[in-house]
Structure 1
Amino acid sequence: MAVVVDSLAGMAIARLPLFAVDCPDPAALARFYGAMLDWKIDIVSADRAAVCPEEGQCIVFHRVADYVAPTWPHPATPKQMHIDMLVDDLDAAEAAVVDLGATRHPDQPGPSYRVFLDPAGHPFCLCLE
């Protein structure tokens, strides 16, 4: 049974100023994503860092002492998070993210995108528009 709430039609219930990613080294992951996205890096402490564009949502990285990297596509340890980013040239983008510290995942399920692992093991995709 679907529930319709007319009083909220067209209104957001919440705003999304950031999303948080668990990892073993917040500063390292902030530097990785900051360099890849050309976003400002903010190292708050040894336990928290962020990357932010000039306007829009930020990615925040939180230290987790017992962090276990995902084993995608094997379900032993689920993905935990996944980011798709648009690129104009897959080969050039791949070379750039690998140079930053990413690893190309051996499982590549589609021709219009490529799956990589960030330095903490989170999968992310570079996708053609």
Structure 2
Amino acid sequence: MALVNAGVVVLDCAEPEKLAEFYKGLLGAEGTDATANRIEIRSADGFRMAFRRDVNATPPSWPRPENSLQAHLDFWVDDLDEAERGVVELGGRPVEAKDALGVHEERGYSDPAGHSFTLRRTAQTAPKQG
């Protein structure tokens, strides 16, 4: 038996409205709950995130060591190039320019408030046919 019910990933930021819009576009999500200092969203597959106002929020400096990671998110995608174009259009910024080799190719980014996340290519279980 689980000790807790499923939770939600919460990112602190100076402008939760702006960050919620970024992740709504990234995840194809809808807003579910909002107060003056917190906005929650839910994607079609049930993934939940929230953004809490902290006027003193300091963006992480990753990959630099000072003020390094505060949180890190991984998202699975089918097409890294297409996903990257979408991230940049939404206001995200690449933080790594090279692909990691291997089964899980990945690229690092930061959201508009500076939180880091990675897009990882969805591993294919069988070769493409035709």
Deviation at 1:55, TM superposition (A): 5.4
Q: Is the 8 A contact 2:28 2:44 kept in 1?
A: no
Question: Which residue number corresponds to residue 48 of structure 2?
Answer: 58
Q: Percent identity?
A: 34
Q: Give every structure 1 segment of 4 or more consecutive aligned residues whose post-TM-superposition deviation is greater than 3 Å.
A: 106-109
Secondary structure of the structure 1 residue equivalent to 2:82: helix
> Which has the larger Rg?
1
Q: Is the 8 A contact 2:17 2:39 kept in 1?
A: yes
Runs of at least 5 residues in structure 1 that lack an aligned partner in the other structure? 1-10
Runs of at least 5 residues in structure 2 that lack an aligned partner in the other structure? 123-130
Deviation at 1:47, TM superposition (A): 1.6
Question: Which residue number corresponds to residue 80 of structure 1?
Answer: 70
**Backbone CA RMSD of aligned residues:** 1.8
Q: Distance in 2 between matches of 1:92 and 1:20?
A: 26
Deviation at 1:20, TM superposition (A): 1.1
Matched, 1:126 2:116: no
Deviation at 1:110, TM superposition (A): 2.1
Instruction: Tell me the TM-score normalised to structure 2 length.
Output: 0.83
Deviation at 1:21, TM superposition (A): 0.8
Instruction: Tell me the TM-score normalised to structure 1 length.
Output: 0.83
The count of aligned residue pairs is 119
Q: Distance in 2 between matches of 1:124 and 1:18?
A: 16
Task: Say which of 91, 96, 99 aligns to 2:89.
Answer: 99
